[in-house]
Amino acid sequence: MIPVPPRLVRRVVLAPLVLCCSLLLVVASPVLFVLAAIVDLFAGGRRSLRFVAFGVAYCAYEVAGIVAVFWLWIASGAGARIRTPAFQERHYRLMAWWLRGLRSVATRLFHIEVKIEDRPAPEPGPILVFSRHGGAGNSLLLVATLLLDYGRRPRIIMLEKLQWEPLFDTLLNRLPNRFIRHGASGREAQIEAIGALASGLGDRDAFVLFPEGHDFKPQLRERAIAHLRKRGHHDSAARAERMANVLPPRHGGVMAAIGHAPDADVVFVAHTLFEDVGSIGQLWRRIPLKEPVLARFWRITAAEVPPGAPQGAESDEETEELIAWLYGWWSRIDAWISDKVTEPEEPVEEIAVPPISDPSTLLP
């Protein structure tokens, strides 16, 4: 994977380049719509038009978002006051506007809606949100739900590669979020960063972590189980084998977050989408979706959560207790998904999974 460029390069070169390309696509949208209509004339339906419309809308929001973060930088005195509460609030408002707009566009074009089963009522207090990883779309829907529907300010742990997207890079780096890189060499530093982000949560904050670390794919599941067994984690491998819809969760970040936020409740999140639609080709054929994205939230009070290790000095007994607790909830998430998922109408196509250069990223 190509490493993320330095911050100066991302700001001076990448952001203007993406801004110009996005603006060009918006300007060229009438031509793109005509071409999409021609494709749909032969293919049937309006799928091409829907995808082009979403792409154009995304580019328009990208242009507006980049211009907005640049204006906020100027208004803050060239960044001098960018970390003050007033400007943090403005950035959260921008984030909410961006998510609300794209969610509205996706709902209208693709009929992508989120239906939360046994929807919990909003309650005050800091929360740690641990969700299964189902792709960028599902992750954005989760963050949108927390911010727009529950009035939470998310603190998100994300992969470093997302900084290739200029608006994500600029906006989210100005707010209390962390971009991390998987790898055994920097594991301790990443866990420390996770713990630091979970520290000092307020009543409106929601720390968000995806313990699996990768989007679920059957091949990755098999590889993760084999690697757990190779490293001698036989109990974890056996537990993971009993879960068909999720990757084995890694406990290091979870333990650090719990240890640094001992008074926070924990929220586990399960959701569906790509299990129902199958391959990318099947997703294309099923747009607009006939069924909503299903989700389920479980909130566990802080008193019921096993202790974490804020300084990394975790005892074997505490570690085993937390791992068993985490796998128990992941098994519940897996069972919930199995209960909700319907078999695709057509055979699911095999999707090639690129090799992972560092297998340790699949470890708990």
Say which DSSP state 12 is in: I
Q: How confident is the model at residue 354 (pLDDT cuts 50, 70, 90)?
A: very low
The answer to whether residue 282 scores a pLDDT higher than 80 is no
Q: Is residue 178 part of a domain?
A: yes
Give yes or no: residues 183 and 54 share one domain: no
Q: Is residue 172 part of a domain?
A: yes
Give yes or no: residues 327 and 198 share one domain: yes
User: What is the pTM assigned to this prediction?
Assistant: 0.88
Domain encompassing residue 176: 114-343+360-364
Q: Is residue 278 part of a domain?
A: yes
**Enclosing H/E stretch for 104:** helix 85-110
Say which DSSP state 207 is in: E
Give yes or no: residues 151 and 184 share one domain: yes
Rounded CA gap, 69 and 337, in Å? Answer: 38
Question: Can you give the pLDDT at residue 275?
Answer: 53
* Residue 78 CB partners (closer than 8 Å, separation 6+): none
Rounded CA gap, 207 and 262, in Å? Answer: 13
Q: Are 299 and 329 in contact (CB under 8 A)?
A: no
Tokens representing 44 are 């049937």
Give yes or no: residues 227 and 194 share one domain: yes
> Using one digit for the tens of pLDDT, what is the confidence trace for 115-131?
899 888 889 999 999 99
> Using one digit for the tens of pLDDT, what is the confidence trace for 290-336?
888 889 999 999 999 988 665 444 567 778 888 899 999 999 999 99
Q: Is residue 142 part of a domain?
A: yes
Give yes or no: residues 100 and 137 share one domain: no
Rounded CA gap, 169 and 42, in Å? Answer: 40
Q: Answer with the one of 83, 112, 141 that is the final residue of a domain.
A: 112
Give yes or no: residues 159 and 196 share one domain: yes
At residue 275, the 3 state secondary structure works out as helix
Give yes or no: residues 270 and 334 share one domain: yes
* Residue 49 CB partners (closer than 8 Å, separation 6+): 33, 36, 37, 40
Q: Answer with the one of 112, 127, 145 that is the final residue of a domain.
A: 112
Longest dimension (CA), the chain: 64
Give yes or no: residues 215 and 76 share one domain: no
Give yes or no: residues 84 and 163 share one domain: no
Give yes or no: residues 118 and 101 share one domain: no
**Number of domains forming the structure of the chain:** 2
CA 305 vs. chain centroid, Å, equals 23
Q: Is residue 201 part of a domain?
A: yes
Taking CA atoms, 329 is separated from 178, 212, 239, 249, 260, in Å, by 25, 13, 11, 10, 21
Give yes or no: residues 263 and 317 share one domain: yes
Q: What is the DSSP track for 250-283?
A: PHHHHHHHHHH-TT-EEEEEEE-SHHHH-SHHHH
Q: Is residue 150 part of a domain?
A: yes
Q: Could you tell me which of 234, 260, 262 has the C-alpha nearest to residue 248?
A: 234
The reply to whether omega before 355 is within 30° of 0 (cis) is: no
Tokens representing 144 are 């949108």
Tokens representing 263 are 């008074």
CATH number, domain containing residue 171: 3.40.1130
Sign of dihedral through CA atoms 252, 340, 120, 133?
Answer: positive
Q: Is residue 348 part of a domain?
A: no
Give yes or no: residues 171 and 62 share one domain: no
Question: Can you give the pLDDT at residue 182?
Answer: 73
Pairing of strands 178-180, 205-209: unpaired
The answer to whether residue 207 scores a pLDDT higher than 50 is yes
Q: What is the DSSP track for 44-94?
A: -SSHHHHHHHHHHHHHHHHHHHHHHHHHHHHHTTTTTTTTSHHHHHHHHHH
Averaged pLDDT, 233-249: 90
Q: Is residue 200 part of a domain?
A: yes
Q: How many residues does the chain have?
A: 364
> Using one digit for the tens of pLDDT, what is the confidence trace for 187-200?
888 899 999 999 99
Q: Answer with the one of 96, 112, 128 that is the final residue of a domain.
A: 112
